[in-house]
Amino acid sequence: MSRIFCIANQKGGVGKTTTCVNLAAGLASVGQRVLLVDLDPQGNATMGSGVDKRTLGHSVYDVLLETASIPEAKVRSDKGGYDVLGANRELSGAEVELVALERRNERLRAALKAVDADYDFVLIDCPPSLSMLTLNGLCSAHGVIVPMQCEYFALEGLTDLVNTIKQVHANLNRDLQLIGLLRVMFDPRITLQTQVSDQLKAHFGDKVFDTVIPRNVRLAEAPSYGLPGVVFDPAAKGAQAFVQFAQEMVARVAGELPTTAPADDSARA
């Protein structure tokens, strides 16, 4: 059975795609079977996995419109060691087209059910919005991983996201939980970042992952080589942090996911 996680944060540039690609490669490196689903029309997770978004035969767009299944549409990231359900600009049209269709929030969930036995982990890279695409992701997932930079405004945006997760949990997907907040691009020399990190732990407790992803230029360079950072430079601090995060996720899943719903007090921003 696969465990399905959305990497979500409605802000852009916070490290969602970097987290998705490197967690996928990190999980693959410790022997997990992984499918990465790119739900962002920018296709950055697709390209960052070494898959050319411009030459995709099928993409997640076809899966949402039910003109292709996941086995038909997936491609392999050879270097990453995982499968990719890619995205490109075509996906921005899906937003409009889905509005008129039945079960519009549940199409990805249905498609993922059919490949439940094929993967240990499914990671969904969400666009920087709380749009219908993100909703499809949230309706498909067991949990949400929220990458965030420890900056002053980070906490502000979190309230909206936590409320959305609560609403989806209440109305559309009883399985959905806030799994955790991942501190990314972290620089311990910056006092404010350490303070915000402490605040996060005070408010969210064990919903803050133990692993911290440091700011590391090798992670930023890797996509231009079409490689996950974990593969591009395995010795770099950022790569090592993502492998550690993959191990933390494997341990969490093995030890059963926390059973508290995101509606409880610990999930309040």
Which residues contact Mg ion by CB under 5 A? 16-17, 44
Nearer to Mg ion, 245 or 267 (CB): 245
Q: Under the rule (CB under 6 A), what is the footprint of ligand ADP?
A: 12-18, 44, 128, 184-185, 213, 215-217, 219-220, 238
Nearest by Cα to 157 from 4, 3, 16? 16
Task: Characterise 142 by phi-psi region: left (phi > 0), alpha (psi -120 to 50), beta (else).
Answer: alpha
Q: Which does 141 bind (CB under 5 to 8 A by kind): ligand ADP, Mg ion, none?
A: none
Q: Which does 219 bind (CB under 5 to 8 A by kind): Mg ion, ligand ADP, none?
A: ligand ADP
Kindly state the smallest distance separating residue 10's Cβ from Mg ion, in Å: 12
- Which residues are CB-neighbours of 202 under 8 A, at least 6 positions away? none
Contact of 18 with 65, CB cutoff 8 Å: no
CA angle 140, 104, 34 (to 5 degrees): 30
Q: Which does 12 bind (CB under 5 to 8 A by kind): Mg ion, ligand ADP, none?
A: ligand ADP
Nearer to ligand ADP, 68 or 178 (CB): 178
Q: Which does 220 bind (CB under 5 to 8 A by kind): ligand ADP, Mg ion, none?
A: ligand ADP
Kindly state the smallest distance separating residue 110's Cβ from ligand ADP, in Å: 26
Q: Identify the DSSP state of 91.
A: H
Q: Which does 216 bind (CB under 5 to 8 A by kind): Mg ion, ligand ADP, none?
A: ligand ADP
CA angle 254, 257, 258 (to 5 degrees): 140
Which residues on adjacent β-strands are paired with residue 7? 125, 145
Contact of 37 with 175, CB cutoff 8 Å: no
Nearer to ligand ADP, 128 or 258 (CB): 128
Report how far residue 91's alpha carbon sits from residue 202's, in angstroms, rounded to the nearest whole number: 39
Nearer to ligand ADP, 178 or 213 (CB): 213
Nearest by Cα to 206 from 245, 180, 169? 180
Rg (the chain; Cα; Å): 17
Nearer to ligand ADP, 68 or 180 (CB): 180
Kindly state the smallest distance separating residue 13's Cβ from ligand ADP, in Å: 4
Q: Which does 140 bind (CB under 5 to 8 A by kind): ligand ADP, Mg ion, none?
A: none
Nearer to ligand ADP, 39 or 112 (CB): 39
